Homo-oligomer: A and B are copies of this chain.
């Protein structure tokens, strides 16, 4: 990150009519954005939420409260503008970019980016979710997309996802990367009951025992117990970091993707902006793995990028105070 730009932004923040540091995270965000951009960022950036959609063979183990066909149905809902992420992105002035990176069904729509690596993963409880080559291609989809969006002038990305069953591979990946007991990583997803939760825990445990992923080999972890949209989001973060674009991280699944990205390239961590703390059990541990503190606590557990979209106004505020607030000198105010 650009130290000089960060220092200059700190200096500007220190002249604004407020006690030093009293805008808290708004100030640290402003400094981070400057470090990434190489100059003070005093106008809200153009924003996009990337929603990567894919299916999961592990659904046949009964690990989700919703049937698998909902993935494709929700993709159409995103494209029609009727999902929660559409509403929240619209309110925040962000566009929604929807990507089919591995939906089982064929979804056709003029606004859908079709980058399908395969039509859903295999059941990770019985073998690898995908091949190593497929995992690499899914990561590359994300890298390429970040480059396209950066070239189009997007200055701030947010991660979103849709994939019935995708908290199961996320929990497995978190357990492997964090060397955790799967029980700490497995949660109720969209609304499992106690019996479903127990089944999901057994499934994650079996997936790790069966596949024995090598935690020091990120592609191996993704291929064996991951998901296509998770791989795609990890790639999106890597591509964004490479292009100097910060990325707002949504909930549990997105945070696991961010862990994978940071394992690929530790510098990617400097480009991450946390958003909310999800209700999904493993999210707190996933954030801790990255050393990130959430800014919002809204008891949400929807995914799609909804928590990230609600953090956009905080980031806009960090930019707006820099250009719109008076200084002690300009306002004639005594300093402490």
Residues of A in contact with B (beta carbons under 8 Å apart): 16-26, 64-67, 69-70, 73-74, 76-77, 80, 82-84, 86-88, 90-92, 190-191, 279, 293-302, 306, 310, 313-314, 316-317, 320-321, 324-326, 330-336
Q: Complex Cα distance A298/B321, Å? A: 15
Would A76 and B331 be within 8 Å (CB), given that A92-B313, A301-B19 are in contact? yes
Q: Cβ of A22: which chain B residues have Cβ within 8 Å of it?
A: 190-191, 300-302
Cβ–Cβ contact B83 & A298, under 8 A: no
> Contact partner of A317 among B73, B88, B324, CB < 8 A?
B88
Q: Cβ of A317: which chain B residues have Cβ within 8 Å of it?
A: 87-88, 91, 310
Q: Cβ of A26: which chain B residues have Cβ within 8 Å of it?
A: 298, 300
Expressed in whole angstroms, the minimum distance between the Cβ of A38 and any Cβ of chain B is 24
Q: Complex Cα distance A324/B84, Å? A: 8
Cβ–Cβ contact B297 & A294, under 8 A: yes
> Contact partner of A300 among B24, B92, B324, CB < 8 A?
B24
Cβ–Cβ contact A82 & B302, under 8 A: no
Q: Complex Cα distance A299/B333, Å? A: 24
Cβ–Cβ contact B313 & A67, under 8 A: no
Q: Cβ of A326: which chain B residues have Cβ within 8 Å of it?
A: 77, 80, 82-83
Expressed in whole angstroms, the minimum distance between the Cβ of A190 and any Cβ of chain B is 4
Expressed in whole angstroms, the minimum distance between the Cβ of A27 and any Cβ of chain B is 9
Cβ–Cβ contact B314 & A24, under 8 A: no
Q: Cβ of A279: which chain B residues have Cβ within 8 Å of it?
A: 24
Cβ–Cβ contact A18 & B66, under 8 A: no
Q: Cβ of A90: which chain B residues have Cβ within 8 Å of it?
A: 320, 324
Q: Cβ of A91: which chain B residues have Cβ within 8 Å of it?
A: 313, 316-317, 320
Q: Complex Cα distance A214/B69, Å? A: 64
Q: 7 pairs across A/B with beta carbons < 8 Å?
A: A22-B300, A24-B299, A70-B334, A82-B324, A83-B325, A83-B326, A313-B313
Nearest-neighbor residue (CB-CB) of A324 within chain B: B87
Cβ–Cβ contact B336 & A302, under 8 A: no
Expressed in whole angstroms, the minimum distance between the Cβ of A226 and any Cβ of chain B is 22
Q: Cβ of A296: which chain B residues have Cβ within 8 Å of it?
A: 295-297, 314
Cβ–Cβ contact B298 & A297, under 8 A: no
Q: Complex Cα distance A90/B316, Å? A: 12
Q: Complex Cα distance A314/B246, Å? A: 22
Expressed in whole angstroms, the minimum distance between the Cβ of A66 and any Cβ of chain B is 4
